[in-house]
Amino acid sequence: MYRAKRRSIVRLWVACWLLFAQAVSAEENLCVLVLYSNHRLLPANLEFEAGLRETLAKSTELNAEFLDYPRFDSESYLDAMTAFLHEKYALRPPSVLVVGGKGALEFVLRHRDELFPRVPVIHGAVPQSFLQSRPPLPADVVGVPIKFDFPGTIELALRWHPRARRLLVVTGVSAQDRAWEAELRSDVSRFQDRVTTEFLAGLPTDALLQRLRALGGDTVVFTPGYFEDGVGHLFSPREAVGLMAAAAAAPVYGPFDTFIGTGIVGGSMPNFAAMGRQVGHLVNDWLAGGAPAAQRLPEIAPTAVNLDWRQIQRWDIDPSAIPDDAIVRFKPPTLLEQYATETGVAIVVFLVQAGLIAGLLFERRRRRRMELAVHQQRCELAHASRLAVAGELTGAIAHEINQPLGAILSNADAADLLLASGADRRDELRAILADIRQDDLRASEVIRRLRALLAKQPVDWHPFDLNEAIRELEPVLRAEARRRRVALDLRLTATAPLLLGDRIQIQQVLINLALNAMDAANGLPEARRAVAVSVEHDADRLILVVRDRGPGIAPEHLPQLFDSFFSTKSQGMGLGLSITRTLVEAHGGRVWAESGSGMGAVFRVEWPAADGAGTPEPV
């Protein structure tokens, strides 16, 4: 009982193992055999297989066999090939058989029962014309037919060479070459209205090349290449077409994309790699269990215009005639394509730089606006300060005007007395009238200067004589000094120093410094109250010095002296020196104070001379 149970467990285990082993071997058996019509190194085969390998799962085993048409095609060879394939793959039968080309499909259909019965067949690169000329394929033989577009390529050639009057068609002598020739003879009939057609079929290659070398400019050449020439020399069509394109004195066109790069211009071509990929997808579907009937296959593999850009240039073909979807090979990349990274970086740098420049320009404009606003404010402040100073000078001004008015009155009284005397004293009366006119003019001049000083007028920037500007102020300053009982000593230079700037602003500087100096002299005994104003200059500089004999400036006050609102006076606003410094600096100059305690204060202002270097500009 126990033994029987143990035996049945062992049997079950063995059965499971066998099932598993079968499943694994079925998995391992996923192998695909590709049978090509032609030679192993035919470019079309290489392209096709590259596309196929790219698409198949990595685990799929791929074997390839070659019938080597048209070099080998005898019946006995084909029988031997059948036996060989049967024998070779007896223990590793393919899961799917792929056939590349018409010859391989014909072979498989004939020998299928001896080779791999019931193994599904997928064909690639088989012309549609062949499939249409024979009975329908069995249900487990499928594929996407192709059409080598001979007429489409010739049409293209005639469109790109509108002056061509002659079409030369070159073919060979192998069975495949003859089949192409027959197809072409029927195709060219549709071009007979446009060109005369000549066939060079089966010439020895040397003779052919000689003919091609002698072609005139009115000819275009079309060729599918050939496998065998008139003296039995074998070629791949690509080799043959390469020789032709190198020799021909006319543009050469062909229908296979493997010809691109040999020297032909181009053509309307199906793509062998794409065919390989399409077959690969069909194989994958089949191996995944898809029934052939369920596969919806395209009617025909697509073709595209392929061309060699170098030949387009060589034969002076109008680039605008090239269709937008054409595949253009050997076109040198544009500078932009060639240096994409560098160009990208350059564009980024350029944009960043442009951004920075824009930012800087914006900042500059903003700064300029702010400077203008500051300038405006400064002018307004300076004007307000002048009005305040005018208030301080009221006494002096009143005195300045009163003096001529008093003189006028005295003169008028004297004239009255003369007239009352009844004597004819016209000369004296004339002299009195002249004095009155003189005094009137003096009073008017005081008022004119005062108005000029106090008026709110735009900055008037031009070179002016500093001595002259000081002299204009002299009457008011002297009047103020007299009023305060301060001795005023003015020392101007003999030659006229020129200063570039606004005369009124510079006069304001002098008034501020002179009134401060008189303020400082205030507390002193009358005999010591003195203020000296002097002008010095050399080739480059003008210097204005205002000195007094007051208490001087305490060392701790020196650093803040020119700050706004710094004042040690009970009624002081603390703006005079701050405005003075602003005005001096706006004229490219500098102002500073020197003081020894108890020795009085000295204020020095220094400007560049108007014709010297570093002449300032108004802001």
State in angstroms the smallest separation of the CB of 502 from ligand ADP. Answer: 20
State in angstroms the smallest separation of the CB of 568 from ligand ADP. Answer: 3
210/568 with CB nearer ligand ADP: 568
Q: Which two tokens stand for residue 524?
A: 């002193």
Give the number of other Cβ atoms within 10 Å of residue 508's Cβ: 22
Of 392, 402, 399, 386, the residue nearest 522 (C-alpha): 392
199/566 with CB nearer ligand ADP: 566
Q: Are 141 and 281 in contact (CB under 8 A)?
A: no
415/514 with CB nearer ligand ADP: 514
121/513 with CB nearer ligand ADP: 513
State in angstroms the smallest separation of the CB of 415 from ligand ADP. Answer: 46
Q: Report the C-alpha gap between 68 and 89 in whole angstroms.
A: 19
State in angstroms the smallest separation of the CB of 553 from ligand ADP. Answer: 5
Rounded to a whole number of angstroms, the CA Rg of the chain reads 57
316 CA to centre of own chain: 34
567/615 with CB nearer ligand ADP: 567
Q: Are 470 and 510 in contact (CB under 8 A)?
A: yes
Q: What's the DSSP call for residue 228?
A: B
315/566 with CB nearer ligand ADP: 566
State in angstroms the smallest separation of the CB of 468 from ligand ADP. Answer: 25
Q: What's the DSSP call for residue 127?
A: B
134/569 with CB nearer ligand ADP: 569
499/575 with CB nearer ligand ADP: 575
State in angstroms the smallest separation of the CB of 418 from ligand ADP. Answer: 50
Q: Which two tokens stand for residue 248?
A: 């021909």
State in angstroms the smallest separation of the CB of 513 from ligand ADP. Answer: 7
Task: Mark residue 225 as left, alpha or beta (left: phi above 0; alpha: psi -120 to 50; beta: remaining).
Answer: left
Of 114, 120, 123, the residue nearest 79 (C-alpha): 114
State in angstroms the smallest separation of the CB of 374 from ligand ADP. Answer: 19
DSSP codes joined into one string, 537-557: E-SSEEEEEEEE-SS---GGG
Whether the CA torsion 95, 99, 104, 109 is positive or negative: it is positive
Q: Which helix (H) or strand (E) holds 86?
A: helix 75-88
284/567 with CB nearer ligand ADP: 567
SS3 of residue 612 by DSSP: coil
Q: Which two tokens stand for residue 117?
A: 């019965």
377/597 with CB nearer ligand ADP: 597
Per the DSSP assignment, residues forming a β-bridge with 261 are none
State in angstroms the smallest separation of the CB of 547 from ligand ADP. Answer: 8
State in angstroms the smallest separation of the CB of 550 from ligand ADP. Answer: 5
220/509 with CB nearer ligand ADP: 509
60/578 with CB nearer ligand ADP: 578
Q: Are 225 and 235 in contact (CB under 8 A)?
A: yes
Q: Which distant-in-sequence residues (6+ apart) come within 8 Å of 504 by Cβ?
A: 386, 452, 453, 457, 460
Q: Report the C-alpha gap between 406 and 412 in whole angstroms.
A: 10
Q: Report the C-alpha gap between 47 and 56 in whole angstroms.
A: 15
State in angstroms the smallest separation of the CB of 393 from ligand ADP. Answer: 14
State in angstroms the smallest separation of the CB of 600 from ligand ADP. Answer: 7
State in angstroms the smallest separation of the CB of 483 from ligand ADP. Answer: 18
Task: Mark residue 424 as left, alpha or beta (left: phi above 0; alpha: psi -120 to 50; beta: remaining).
Answer: beta
Q: Report the C-alpha gap between 330 and 310 in whole angstroms.
A: 7
Of 54, 67, 138, the residue nearest 102 (C-alpha): 67
Pairing of strands 121-124, 530-537: unpaired
Binding site for ligand ADP (CB under 6 A): 516-517, 520, 548, 550, 553, 561, 566-569, 572-578, 601
162/598 with CB nearer ligand ADP: 598
Note the helical H segments in 161-271.
175-187, 205-213, 237-247
Q: Report the C-alpha gap between 434 and 431 in whole angstroms.
A: 5
Q: Which distant-in-sequence residues (6+ apart) come within 8 Å of 497 by Cβ?
A: 465, 466, 467, 535, 537, 542, 609
Q: Report the C-alpha gap between 434 and 542 in whole angstroms.
A: 40
State in angstroms the smallest separation of the CB of 562 from ligand ADP. Answer: 7
SS3 of residue 6 by DSSP: helix
463/555 with CB nearer ligand ADP: 555
